[in-house]
Amino acid sequence: MNSEKKQFILIDDDPTFNFIHQKIVGLSSCAGDTLVFSSAAEALNYLEAEHENADSECIILLDINMPVINGFEFLQKYEKLPVVNKRQINIYMLSSSLNPDDRAKSKQFAVVSGFLNKPLSATDVCKLCAGAA
C-alpha cells in the first residue's frame, strides 16, 4: 500500500501556506510523505541530488510569486534537470494569482500538469492522488 502513495513536494516561500498545505496533504489518506521547501533554489538542489535514488511517483505543488527564483524561473531550470526523464513527476501550480497571464504562461510549460488556487483543499489532494486534477 505504502509504495502506491505519492510523495508531495511543496515549494512556497510563505510559511503559513506551507503549514496549511502540509497539514491538508498529511491528513489525506492517499498521500505519501511530504517535503517542504521555502525557496525554489532549495527544491532544485534536492531534485538534482536525489534523482538517482528516488523512483516513486511525485507531485510538486509550486507557488508562482516567490523571491529570488519565482515559479516560472524554477520551471525553466527544472526542465534542464536529468531527473525530468527518470522519475514520474507531476507539477501543479498553486497560486493566489488572479492574473490570467499567469495561467496562460503555465500552460506553455509541458512539465506543468495543472493550475490550482490557494488554499489547497482536501478534495484537491484526493483528485491529485487519483491523477484527475
Q: Which residues bind other proteins (CB under 8 A)?
A: 14, 16-17, 20-21, 23-24, 27, 65, 95-100, 118-122
Under a CB-based contact definition with an 8 Å cutoff, are residues 88 and 4 in contact?
no
CB of 67 to other proteins, least distance (A): 13
| Alpha carbons within 13 A on the beta-carbon side of 68 | 8
User: Minimum Å distance from CB 3 to other proteins?
Assistant: 26
119 or 131, CB closer to other proteins?
Answer: 119
Closer CB to other proteins, 56 or 70, in the complex: 70
How many residues are there in the chain?
133
Least spacing, CB of residue 26 vs other proteins, in Å: 10
CB of 108 to other proteins, least distance (A): 17
- List strand residue ranges (DSSP E) for the chain, in order: 6-11, 31-37, 58-62, 89-95, 112-117
Residue whose CB is less far from other proteins, 7 or 97: 97
- In the complex with other proteins, the residue whose CB is nearer, 74 or 89, is 74
Cβ contacts of 33 within 8 Å, gap of 6 or more: 7, 8
Q: Could you give the CA distance from residue 121 to residue 23 in angstroms, rounded to a whole number?
A: 10
In whole angstroms, how close is the CB of 81 to other proteins at the nearest point?
28
Which of 53, 108 has the CB closer to other proteins? 108
Q: Compute the distance between CA of residue 60 and CA of residue 37 in angstroms, rounded to an integer.
A: 11
